Amino acid sequence: MFNLFERRLAPLDSPSVVIASTLGSIVLALAIGAFLFIPFGTNPLLAYFSLFESSLGSLRGFGMTLNRAAPLILVALGTCVAWRAGFGFLGFEGCMTIGAAAAAWFALVGVSEDGQGILLPALLFWPAMLAVAFAAGGIWAGSVGVLRTRYGGNEVLISLMMNYVAIFLVQYLVSGPMRASGSLPQTDRFPTESWLATIIPGTRAHAGILIAVGAAFLVWLLISRMRVGFELVVTGLSPLAARYSGIDVGRRYLLAAVGAGGLGALAGLVEVLGTQHRLMDGLSGGLGFIGIVVALLAKLNPLLIVPVALLYAALSVGADALQRSTGVPSSIIFILQSLIVLFVMASDFIRYWRPRLPRFGAAIVQEER
């Protein structure tokens, strides 16, 4: 097969090529996925229209899409920070859970004596809330960075196992010290002043998407415009070259771990303060792993993460509406998501390889000889 292709001298890394290959892969996945609707007697075009109309074509659906995309963006940004530094962190489920627990604790501790409001003014409450959640996630993931840099531990295995530690810790909290009165393992409802503000009237869209988009800009600024971001990228590309140039690789790994964990914790904050308004078991629902997929689809580009997360969220939100309107199983949407992931990842082949064109001039010279 590879006799038909030859490796490019330099990969096609321009933004236009990356965007075009990503969009082309998505369109191709949707075109192939259209055949999945035929056995159910459903017109694929009408199905896709129903899918995106329910998630993007109405204010209610658009608000739900924004809420679903916000934690995905933050987890994907954490993946971008960690993986571009060469730190293979997979513990975002745990970071989300720890961040949500820290936000819940701060929201409940800051309640006034009458239980009707928060003690701190909004100008102090929200910066403090963000700092507490970010610090909790940073410390949680930073411990993995310490084990990697000081003791040579495998960050992939350690971070995966710490997911379960975080989940069981929150199960203990909502079943014991932080449990509200009643039979369900959950905390008291947070005061309304601690909820993320609604940004689109008539919908449930909250300010979590603003936190996510702001974080995307800051991560882009860090990686592309700051020296420390350049050192993180160099460390990820070649630790030996980074050490030779005077970069403290261990500290950069630790910094990547803290940054990734903090961003993952903010995803938990957005979920618990924007959607659930109380801490309960099973908070993350797999978003910590889906966010990694979003980051891979976006080629670890902080700015491209935002539209990719919105697309992925729109597919998820529209799945239930599609099942109600057409009668097809919502599992088709998961197949479509898998096809999109497969084709987008395979599109890198075009960036690194090109068809081997026949050299007619060389063939003619060979025949004359």
- We report the CATH number of the domain holding residue 186 as 1.10.3470
**Domain presence at residue 342:** no
Q: Please state the three-class secondary structure of 34-86 as a single string.
A: HHHHHHHCCCHHHHHHHHHHHHHCCHHHHHHHHHHHHHHHHHHHHHHHHHHCC
> Other CB atoms closer than 10 Å to residue 112's CB: what's the count?
12
**Domain presence at residue 89:** yes
Q: How far is residue 62's CA from residue 318's CA, in Å, rounded to a whole number?
A: 10
171: nearest Cα among 272, 261, 75, 101: 101
**Domain presence at residue 19:** no
Residue 354 three-state SS? strand
| Per-residue pLDDT at 133 | 95
**Domain presence at residue 339:** no
| Per-residue pLDDT at 365 | 46
Q: How far is residue 64's CA from residue 74's CA, in Å, rounded to a whole number?
A: 17
Q: How far is residue 36's CA from residue 337's CA, in Å, rounded to a whole number?
A: 13
The single residue listed with the structure tokens 């690789």 is: 249
At CB < 8 A and 24+ separation, what contacts does 29-37 make?
A: 29/336, 29/339, 29/340, 29/342, 29/343, 29/344, 30/336, 30/340, 32/339, 33/332, 33/335, 33/336, 33/339, 36/332, 36/335, 36/336, 37/326, 37/328, 37/332
Burial class of residue 10 (count of CB atoms within 10 Å of its CB; 0-12, 13-18, 19+): exposed
| Per-residue pLDDT at 111 | 61
User: What's the maximum distance between 2 C-alpha atoms anywhere in the chain?
Assistant: 99
Residues 6 or more apart whose Cβ sits within 8 Å of residue 131:
none
State how many domains the chain has: 1
The single residue listed with the structure tokens 């160099």 is: 234
330-365 exposure pattern, b = at least 16 Cβ within 10 A, e = fewer: eebbeebbebbbebbeebeebbeeeeeeeeeeeeee
- On whether the CB atoms of residues 292 and 26 are closer than 8 A, the answer is no
Query: In the chain, which stretches have pLDDT less than 70?
Result: 1-2, 111-119, 357-369
**Domain presence at residue 274:** yes
**Domain presence at residue 158:** yes
Tell me the CB-side half-sphere exposure of residue 212, using CA atoms within 13 A: 32
Sign of CA dihedral 100, 106, 111, 113: positive
**Domain presence at residue 40:** no
Q: How far is residue 68's CA from residue 159's CA, in Å, rounded to a whole number?
A: 24
Residues 6 or more apart whose Cβ sits within 8 Å of residue 283:
96, 97, 100, 170, 268, 271, 272, 276
- On whether the CB atoms of residues 264 and 95 are closer than 8 A, the answer is yes
Domain that holds residue 211: 66-313
- On whether the CB atoms of residues 54 and 295 are closer than 8 A, the answer is no
**Domain presence at residue 18:** no
Q: How far is residue 22's CA from residue 297's CA, in Å, rounded to a whole number?
A: 8
